[in-house]
């Protein structure tokens, strides 16, 4: 469990000047991790930490030998082409490295001279997947999304009776998850119009994004053991932005009775930076449930979960069309929401997932499910914003969309704000639709 | 695509005498692959090939340097703790190694002296997973299973309208797949009795097996590219036995709208041996579809798929209870079926899975879905045999079962027979239910 400590102090400033600028996603209070190298180079990918507009190269930090104990072990493990080993070390190692990095990057640190040579401008780097995702599970934690989508797929029965009892989730595809910048052809598949006798085959006509958070598991559990809710967050390394692209017309035809399949597995995109659970401590909020709703079964209930199990992570989505790029027009924001609306907490997801003995491995990822808020304008997908494709939304340059068109780039951002603490951000996740092959 | 060649000749005999005994699963015409080491040793796991009651140690074969060209490269890659690299090399390498092994193990081979020291009795070894399974997808290809289970979950609507058009599948959990011998605690979870107002939490009461084949992908495809049906089998390395354990009461409550989740991901068990697609060439059969049924869309149709796209892989299931073990009573066979009843072929599964651009990696696995045959006695699960838990089945020692009890071991076997060819077998996959924790 992560609590407020000296690394969250909003009076801290860094000797990296850009980290002290107002509005940066990456002040010294954030310190997220990624895997990077200089763009278009043949360098090895290795771990890095964002600080202002720079990446701190953990290979150089590890080789400099300036940390000791758990922090030294942790940075050594993070000097690799994937963060899995570091993520699997557990909370005390993550905290030790965070504290060591916070102290080393602070104004007045003795390590400034050593580490100035370890900075690479973010504008000069490329990222790879931050870790190997063995298994990816997508949850469905926004009751607003579940109700809105349910009413389109099952008008007579939008929210199924299990929703308020079970943190509904399903297994997704790991192989097709890639890092921000992913560009992929419009998927093809079977669809069936309501009035057609037979299905037809062709490019998806209702291509959509889903605004989600990705939640990375750190330390896993043995098969047959479960993770109690009191201990669940100790297994959660951190969070990223996640676009779970969806082919709505494929989904409508294929999803019964075993769930979404080809409608989802053609591509999913994560942001390069993992913001640690510890960095998010100041932005925790109460988790409550309407007293008229069923309260969780005992295994999904804890005092800490009630008190601070939610995270107020704000997110928005923008679309940049081909025309906008040609016209040098800024991307058009289409909605904004927050993870605080989630009907289930991260701890509840972790505990539910393992209550049957299912095992996590370091680097496994959970999707939060589309994070739609209570208002229509806070919907996390075009399916919802366009009311099932019935109404177009108008972009800031006058173009209209019901679903995504070829050449559209979808840009999601995330950030946290709280009274008395610095704003921190997640960077962005971007992905682009290419024409069908 | 694998066709009949000299390695399938039923007149071939091996200098390994046990490979020539009638009834062996592993004559020289089979040559399946596994990862093994001597039991209870600290040896490295490495590739092995079954021949009679022995394992041919591929580490020794590789080091002996007796093969050349693609066969040498292939055996070198198979000398590893997982077969992924070898599997990713593709059809020509798999065939070259099979041919080289067939020739080296034949009666009269020049390599007999060299290879006699490379044999380890199967009774002395332990197995690990044959490869790292990145992603696992479970299909639903038995229309008899789909109809029988559908009638229990949805009496008014057993077979959904998409079934005859779409090879229905969903993503499963990789982390909890283990090799034969897996023992796991009875899963706990939420269930809701039809007459109850609220769900309750506790150990699963309707624990079941599912008789499936596992289908291993060899060479993968790039994200955004699809695998045409004419080329699909070139990507299929081989087949194993697969028990997709299922918690039916958890499943009934959780599975809508996103499919099975905790009902499946607590454990799944594969047989140690992968029987290659090439070894199965003599047991191919026609794939036909009732002329009153819709015929496949064009992307799922090919002449070769019609002509020989099915495999007559026979399978049976036995239960060994604690009492049987105490009484030294043989396991009780409960059903027998064949993969030839599958409504969709392996090539159709591969092509459908990638038609949207989804990518396979070497070692990915497809489950066939429960392979129930047309007759009630050929059902591949207890759910079906007990007609939804309404009727007990009687085991050969007089014990009765509706679902699995603690201490039960489930044993699945598979084999192929065809006129003019030797019988080959898959060995077995076994798993045991421990009491809930």
Helix segments in A69-126, DSSP class H? 69-78, 84-89, 91-105, 112-116
Read off the tokens for B40.
């209870």
pLDDT at residue A2 greater than cutoff 60: no
Read off the tokens for A165.
């009892």
Q: What is the crossing angle of helices B69-78 and B91-105, to 10°?
A: 90
Q: How many angstroms away from the CA of A190 is the closest CA of chain B?
A: 8
What does the alpha-carbon distance between residue A126 and residue A110 come to, in Å, rounded to a whole number? 29
In a domain? residue A1: no
What's chain B's average pLDDT?
Answer: 97
- Interface residue B408 vs chain A (CB under 8 A): no
Residue B4 has phi, psi (to 5 degrees) of: -65, 135
**pLDDT for the residue B2:** 53
* B81 secondary structure, DSSP code: S
The stretch A432-436 carries a mean pLDDT of 98
What does the alpha-carbon distance between residue A162 and residue B289 come to, in Å, rounded to a whole number? 38
| Chain A from 291 to 310: CB within 8 A of any B CB | 294, 297-299
Strand stretches in B192-277, DSSP E? 200-203, 207-208, 211-217, 236-243, 246-247, 268-270, 275-276
In a domain? residue B192: yes
CB A269 within 8 A of CB A196: no
> Residues B277, B403: one domain?
yes
- Interface residue B312 vs chain A (CB under 8 A): no
What does the alpha-carbon distance between residue B51 and residue B30 come to, in Å, rounded to a whole number? 8
- Interface residue B359 vs chain A (CB under 8 A): yes
| Chain A from 149 to 178: CB within 8 A of any B CB | 150, 153-154, 160, 162, 165-166, 168-176, 178
CB A374 within 8 A of CB A335: no
The stretch B171-200 carries a mean pLDDT of 97
Read off the tokens for B328.
């030294």
**pLDDT for the residue B152:** 87
In a domain? residue A331: yes
Residue A214 has phi, psi (to 5 degrees) of: -100, 140
pLDDT at residue B84 greater than cutoff 60: yes
Angle at A73 between CA A70 and CA A79, to 5 degrees: 140
Q: Which of B71, B98, B128 is the last residue of a domain?
A: B128
- Interface residue A198 vs chain B (CB under 8 A): yes
Mapping DSSP to helix (H, G, I), strand (E, B) and coil, where does residue A38 land? Answer: strand
> Residues A153, A265: one domain?
yes
Q: Which of B68, B100, B128 is the last residue of a domain?
A: B128
pLDDT at residue A423 greater than cutoff 60: yes
Strand stretches in A232-281, DSSP E? 236-243, 246-247, 268-270, 275-276
Interface test with A, best of B170, B356, B436, B437 (most A CBs within 10 A): B356
What does the alpha-carbon distance between residue B51 and residue A153 come to, in Å, rounded to a whole number? 54
Edge-first strand listing for the sheet containing B409-418: B182-185, B421-434, B409-418, B314-320, B332-338
The stretch B163-177 carries a mean pLDDT of 98
What is the chain B residue with the closest CA to A266?
B358
> Residues A178, A299: one domain?
yes
CB B26 within 8 A of CB B55: no
In a domain? residue A93: yes
Query: What percentage of chain A reaches a pLDDT higher than 70?
Result: 100
- What pLDDT digit, counting tens, does each position of A133-159 carry? 999 999 999 999 999 999 987 888 899
What is the chain A residue with the closest CA to B295?
A198
Q: Which domain holds residue B61?
A: 6-128
Beta pairing partners, A311: A284
DSSP 3-state percent helix, strand, coil across chain A (nearest 5):
25, 30, 45
Residue B288: count other Cβ atoms within 10 Å of its Cβ: 10
In a domain? residue A154: yes
pLDDT at residue A267 greater than cutoff 60: yes
The stretch A102-123 carries a mean pLDDT of 98
Q: How many distinct structural domains can be found in chain A?
A: 2
pLDDT band at B156 (very low <50, low <70, confident <90, very high): confident
Q: How many angstroms away from the CA of B171 is the closest CA of chain A?
A: 5
Q: Does A297 contact B250 at a Cβ distance shorter than 8 Å?
A: no
What is the chain B residue with the closest CA to A189?
B356
> Residues B162, B284: one domain?
yes
Read off the tokens for A12.
């801290």
**pLDDT for the residue A434:** 98
> Residues B329, B271: one domain?
yes
β-pairing, B409-418 with B421-434? Answer: antiparallel
> Residues B268, B372: one domain?
yes
- What pLDDT digit, counting tens, does each position of B265-280 carry? 999 999 999 999 999 9
CATH number, domain at A24? Answer: 2.30.30.230
CB A392 within 8 A of CB A400: yes
The stretch B169-176 carries a mean pLDDT of 98
The stretch B252-276 carries a mean pLDDT of 97
Q: Which of B71, B93, B128 is the last residue of a domain?
A: B128
- Interface residue B257 vs chain A (CB under 8 A): yes
b/e B338-369 (16+ beta carbons within 10 angstroms → b): bbbbbbbbbbbbbbbbbbbbbbbbbbbbbbbb
Distance of CA B79 to the CA centre of its chain: 23
Q: Does A358 contact B266 at a Cβ distance shorter than 8 Å?
A: yes
In a domain? residue B1: no
What does the alpha-carbon distance between residue A88 and residue A85 come to, in Å, rounded to a whole number? 5
> Residues A44, A107: one domain?
yes
> Residues B82, B198: one domain?
no
What is the chain B residue with the closest CA to A294?
B198
What does the alpha-carbon distance between residue A271 and residue A177 come to, in Å, rounded to a whole number? 11
The stretch B48-62 carries a mean pLDDT of 98
β-pairing, B200-203 with B275-276? Answer: unpaired
pLDDT at residue B186 greater than cutoff 60: yes
The stretch B306-312 carries a mean pLDDT of 97
Q: Does A192 contact B261 at a Cβ distance shorter than 8 Å?
A: no
Read off the tokens for B300.
């799922």
The stretch A285-292 carries a mean pLDDT of 94
pLDDT band at B11 (very low <50, low <70, confident <90, very high): very high
| Whole-number Cα distances in Å, A228 to A352, A354, A356 | 9, 9, 11
The stretch A339-353 carries a mean pLDDT of 97
> Residues A278, A391: one domain?
yes
CB A89 within 8 A of CB A74: yes
Please give the positions of B annotated as active site: 145
Burial of B24 (0-12, 13-18, 19+ CB in 10 A): buried
What Rg do the C-alpha atoms of chain B give, in angstroms? 21
Please give the positions of A annotated as active site: 145
How many helices (H) and strands (E) are present in chain B, helices listed first?
A: 11, 26
Q: Which residues of A touch B298 (CB under 8 A)?
A: 201
What does the alpha-carbon distance between residue B425 and residue A149 come to, in Å, rounded to a whole number? 48
CATH number, domain at B399? Answer: 3.90.850.10
Q: Could you please report the per-residue DSSP string of B351-409?
A: HHHHTTSPPP-TT-EEE------SSGGG-SSHHHHTTTTTSPEEPTTS-EESS--TT-E
- What pLDDT digit, counting tens, does each position of A163-197 carry? 999 999 999 999 999 999 999 999 999 999 989 99
Beta pairing partners, B33: B49, B274
Read off the tokens for A205.
């006509």
ipTM value for the complex? 0.97
> Residues B45, B165: one domain?
no
> Residues B85, B234: one domain?
no
The stretch B295-314 carries a mean pLDDT of 97
- Interface residue A69 vs chain B (CB under 8 A): no
**pLDDT for the residue B153:** 78
Read off the tokens for B270.
């594969």
Selecting from A189, A356, A437 the residue whose C-beta is nearest the C-beta of B187 gives A356
> Residues A190, A98: one domain?
no
């Amino acid at each position: 469990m992560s609590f407020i400590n000296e690394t969250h102090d909003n009076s801290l400033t860094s000797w990296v000047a850009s980290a002290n600028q107002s509005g940066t996603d990456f002040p010294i209070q954030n310190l997220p991790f990624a895997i990077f190298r200089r763009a278009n180079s043949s360098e090895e990918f290795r771990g890095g930490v964002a600080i202002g507009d720079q990446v701190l190269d953990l290979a150089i930090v590890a080789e400099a030998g300036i940390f000791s104990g758990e922090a030294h072990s942790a940075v050594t493990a993070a000097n690799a082409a994937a963060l899995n080993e570091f993520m699997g070390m557990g909370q005390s190692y993550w905290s030790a490295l965070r504290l060591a990095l916070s102290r080393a990057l602070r104004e007045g640190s003795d390590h400034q001279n050593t580490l100035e040579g370890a900075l690479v401008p973010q504008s000069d780097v490329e990222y790879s997947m931050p870790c190997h995702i063995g298994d990816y599970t997508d949850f469905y934690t926004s009751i607003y999304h579940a109700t809105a989508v349910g009413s389109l797929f099952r008008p007579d029965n939008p929210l199924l009776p299990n929703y308020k009892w079970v943190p509904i989730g399903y297994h997704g595809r790991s192989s097709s998850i890639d890092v921000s910048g992913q560009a992929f052809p419009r998927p093809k598949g079977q669809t069936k119009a309501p009035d057609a006798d037979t299905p037809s085959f062709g490019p998806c006509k209702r291509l959509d994004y889903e605004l989600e958070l990705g939640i990375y598991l750190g330390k896993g559990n043995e098969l047959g053991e479960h993770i109690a809710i009191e201990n669940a967050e100790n297994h959660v390394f951190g969070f990223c932005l996640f676009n779970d692209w969806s082919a709505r017309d494929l989904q409508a035809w294929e999803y019964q009775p075993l769930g979404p399949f080809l409608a989802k597995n053609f591509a999913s995109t994560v942001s390069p930076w993992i913001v640690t659970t510890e960095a998010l401590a100041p932005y925790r909020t109460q988790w409550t449930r309407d007293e008229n709703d069923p309260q969780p079964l005992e295994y999904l209930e804890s005092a800490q979960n009630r008190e601070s199990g939610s995270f107020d992570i704000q997110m928005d989505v923008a679309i940049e069309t081909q025309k906008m790029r040609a016209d040098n027009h800024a991307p058009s924001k289409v909605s904004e929401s927050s993870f605080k609306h989630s009907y289930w907490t991260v701890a509840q997801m972790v505990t539910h997932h393992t209550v049957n003995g299912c095992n996590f491995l370091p680097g496994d990822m959970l999707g939060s499910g589309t994070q739609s808020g209570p208002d229509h304008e806070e919907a996390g997908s075009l399916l919802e914003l366009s009311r099932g494709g019935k109404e177009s939304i108008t972009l800031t340059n006058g173009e209209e969309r019901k679903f995504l068109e070829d050449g559209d780039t979808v840009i999601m951002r995330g950030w946290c704000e709280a009274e008395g603490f610095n704003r921190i951000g997640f960077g962005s996740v971007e992905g682009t639709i290419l024409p069908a092959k």
